[in-house]
Structure 1
Amino acid sequence: MEIISPQNVRVKEWAQLLEKKHRDKQQRYIVEGIHLVHEALKSRAEIEFIAYSLDHGIPAELAQASADNHAAEWIGVSDAVIAKCTETKSPQPVFAVLRKPRSRIEDLLEQGNGLVVVLDGVQDPGNVGTIIRTADAAGASGVIVGAGCADIYSPKTIRSTMGSLFHLPIVSGDLAEVLPQAKAKGFGLAGTSLQAAKVCYEYDFTGPTWLLFGSEASGLSAPVQALLDDALIIPMKGQSESLNVAMAASVLLYEALRQREFSNKNNS
């Protein structure tokens, strides 16, 4: 199939996915570029179709992944169509429309010794995407995104995940409901605070743990902070007052990885 006109009815529907309200309504989202489409194909994400530039053809990097994933429909489109359906200033010659996954918070609650990242009001798409990417790299069980956070499926967030969006469960949830459920299941709730008494390197990350991170401006909201079992501080020897939330998440996630995977191994 080929679509040339950006005024095509299907193209107008795809372009709507650049807005959150339409992503929510359609339960679909767009990923842009060769790398992200390749990751979606490799991860067997629910791809509805892949649109590629008729001028450039199907990218060679996607040819084998395409052969391994027969479910995806391929549609040749004009560069004008690509420009209408993507946000980047210099669009890559391919994008895909995917159905939102049906991950459930209940599955994360059943992770016996899980390490789950919880975001509370993290508004910057780059920070949300970077935390998802770091959670993936550190072997976390999943990410829960609470109210006030950047949309998981916005193009900027997706680009920041660098494909990690497809590698682990990421779900939205009401933290006022979910966090007490986690406590009842035996998960320890730990989060960063500048007023904390416990240094993060003294905390035991080897048990079932949910790590909570708050907004860039004010940290964890008061109701969420009240549910914490442990408030942690990242020690700083220099004069900086605090770390960016994505950097703080990286420090804690990699300390958790160190304790879980390397603490009992010899250095020799």
Structure 2
Amino acid sequence: MAENKYISSLQNPLVKKALTLKEKSRERKKTGCFVLEGVRELQLAIKGNYELETVFFYADIISKEEVLGLLGQEIGHEVLIEISKDIYQKLAYRETTEGVLAIAKSKSHSLEAMEFSTKNPLVLIAEAPEKPGNIGAILRTADAANLDAVIIANPKGDLYNPNIIRSSVGCVFTNQIGVGSTTEVIKFLKDKDIAIYCAALTASEKYTSVKFNEASAIVVGTEATGLSPEWLENSTKNIIIPMEGEIDSMNVSVSAAIVIFEAKRQRESQ
């Protein structure tokens, strides 16, 4: 892959591959690869044991030695490729650029592969989130709270969308993430004896009155439609964040953060 140490042509097959991966979800799913950009994102991907297939750098912004110093010698000289300004500008999707991008191999996010290191895991479930910004914010919250896992039920896209990577500031690489249908996720939770707490407007208790000290899954839906009936039919208890203004819902990532940190507070004070 890395026999060309310098690429200046936009017609180069490796450049074309990177552009296609950046733009097309179908290609990311087909090849099991994706593009990521930025020093922190690459550092977190390495820490998360993602395999970097190729690392591109634009020498006017960052040198080869700086790349190796920031990302660690373990990435290997053989995967490093210097690219021209034209190529870098074509590949980069961030306004504030750092001169480094990579093609990486994605991971499996099957529910079967998920493992918990504690007997009372705290898990966040998001059903059918659509906006990359919301997914990114959810993943940042999950990282901040050091959740045991995030599960996307009925996903609308792929986790390696560049906008999700960007909005999560690399937290897509720091969280244990599972993906499955709502039916599959509910079965998974029940098999693991994890209580299901659904954020809902009906038949709900105030979130601060619910005890999250045992194995718990906090389930949130979209702001527009909420959770599907299947979740509410299988809920251990519905929870609600009281609204004191004119509206009856908040952004899904904000709602998730409020409940998650209440659960964390309870666990730390027990």
Question: Shared fold by TM > 0.5?
Answer: yes
TM-score by length of 2: 0.89
| Runs of 4+ that moved beyond 6 A | none
Equivalences, count: 263
Distance 1:103 1:216, change over 3 A: same
Give the deviation of 1:175 after TM superposition.
2.0
Give the conservation status (yes or no) of the 8 Å contact 1:125–1:160: yes
CA distance in 2, matches of 1:180, 1:42: 31
TM-score by length of 1: 0.89
CA distance in 1, matches of 2:256, 2:62: 40
Give the deviation of 1:40 after TM superposition.
2.2
Partner of 2:219 in structure 1? 212
Partner of 2:43 in structure 1? 38
CA RMSD of aligned residues (A): 2.1
Q: CA-to-partner distance for each residue in 1:160-207, whole Å, 9 max, x for gaps? A: 111211212112212212212311321101111122421100111111
Q: CA-to-partner distance for each residue in 1:105-126, whole Å, 9 max, x for gaps? A: 2344655311111111111110
Partner of 1:102 in structure 2? 108
Give the conservation status (yes or no) of the 8 Å contact 2:138–2:253: yes
Confirm whether residue 244 of structure 1 aligns to residue 251 of structure 2. Answer: yes
Partner of 1:66 in structure 2? 71
1:168 maps to which of 159, 167, 175? 175
Partner of 2:18 in structure 1? 14
Identity, in percent, stands at 30
CA distance in 2, matches of 1:25, 1:37: 22
Partner of 2:88 in structure 1? 82
Letter in 2 for 1:134: T
CA distance in 2, matches of 1:42, 1:183: 31
Confirm whether residue 54 of structure 1 aligns to residue 68 of structure 2. Answer: no
Q: CA-to-partner distance for each residue in 1:221-264, whole Å, 9 max, x for gaps? A: 12222221111000223333211100000001111111112x14
Residue segments in structure 2 that go unaligned for 5+ positions in a row? none
CA distance in 1, matches of 2:50, 2:92: 19
